[in-house]
Amino acid sequence: MMGDASTWAAWVAAVTSLATLIVTTLVGGRREHRRWARESLTDAFVAFLEASWAHSDIVRYTPAEQPLDIEAAQACYAEMRSQLTRLRLLASGDVLRAGEDLLRCQRAAHEARPGSARQEALLTAARSRRVVVAAAKREMGLI
């Protein structure tokens, strides 16, 4: 009888250990995946917004008598598009709509004539950027 009870106890301990291992692996894996997704989302938001600010700076600080640094402005715009693609994979529709709107605003600022038209376009882009920041905070559960 003793051998049977100890064998049975060993089997119960092995099954319990296996179940604990499986549950720990699943929960830990999900936690790691959520952490990776959150970090990736944060990186994409930061890169998208940094490119937007850089683009605005390039467009804003171009004197009316000098041509716009097209290459630098296009590089920032391309970075925004690239990061928006990452956001499409990681974020909700609300975030994407806000990001797409900001991208259009940056394009409008780029194409606006120097002077009041460009300044107004930059103000519109700044307002749109604030909408993206708010959407990012909501997406990440910060507000």
Helices assigned H by DSSP within 1-143: 2-60, 70-90, 93-111, 116-139
Predicted local distance difference test score (pLDDT) of residue 143: 81
Reduced to 3 states, what is the DSSP secondary structure of residue 132?
helix
Q: Show the tokens assigned to 95.
A: 């975030």
Which domains are delineated in the chain?
A: 42-139 (1.20.120)
| Backbone angles phi and psi of 49, in degrees to 5 | -70, -40
Q: How far apart are CA 100 and CA 127, in angstroms?
A: 13
Structure tokens at 115: 């002077």
pLDDT of residue 29: 64
pLDDT greater at residue 14 or residue 90: 90
Model-level pTM?
0.74
Q: Is the pLDDT of residue 40 over 80?
A: yes
